[in-house]
Amino acid sequence: MSTKPLNVNEDEIAKFNKIASQWWDLNGDFKPLHQINPLRVQFICQHIAWLDNDTQANNGLYDKQVIDVGCGGGILSESLTKLGAKVTGIDMGMEPLNVAKLHALETSLSIDYQKITAEEKALACSETFDVVTCMEMLEHVPDPASVVQACATLVKPGGLVFFSTLNKGIKSYLLAIVAAEKILKIVPDGTHDHDKFIRPSQLISWAALHGLKCIDASGIHYNPLTGNHKLIDSLDVNYIICCRKL
């Protein structure tokens, strides 16, 4: 039996368990996630044609097997399910998962939510999923490279993996921590640790080590004062990448 510790930060789990009841409050602590979620869905849908040999017959996410790694309260999981995907959502926070299950029940959506790490799921379900999503999660675990490897294992050859996280630089520190947490109080103080932010080059390098080729990347611009959000070329702060398994 393996004695390797789980790739989990218990303080992070406790932090998100504490505010789990706010996951679906559109004006609560997770308001920024709700506001950028359409951009994440847009970026994913733009690349689904890669999954079909005949792009003229592309059916989008319909009937695709998708796993949402670090699903939290299910914001992205529900959006992808509504587009016809068969979604599995995994997380190690029990309270967010309970919220996700209840909200899916209330909205009559069928989503398979599980309390399991990405690494454990990868051992059980190697090359099972057409699409793997891992959004705003890598900066909250002790070993993000291990999660990237697990995502590469979970996806089928030719399938797509999407990662989003925060770039490591002075601009991201000023906007994501000083402005968002300290001054504007958009998210709870202590939500992010700048030391855990990940440069795009580092993330793409980890992905390449495990057979994932980055085929596209976009920045996610979010203006908390105006509520304006859009995909941009700059990866300075929030960014999202699409990788294809070779």
Binding positions for S-adenosyl-L-methionine? 40, 70, 91, 135
Nearest CA among 156, 160, 150 for reference residue 127: 156
Q: d(Cα 8, Cα 64) in Å, to the nearest integer?
A: 28
Nearest CA among 139, 161, 140 for reference residue 149: 161
Q: Residues at the annotated binding site?
A: 40, 70, 91, 135
Nearest CA among 174, 242, 180 for reference residue 213: 242
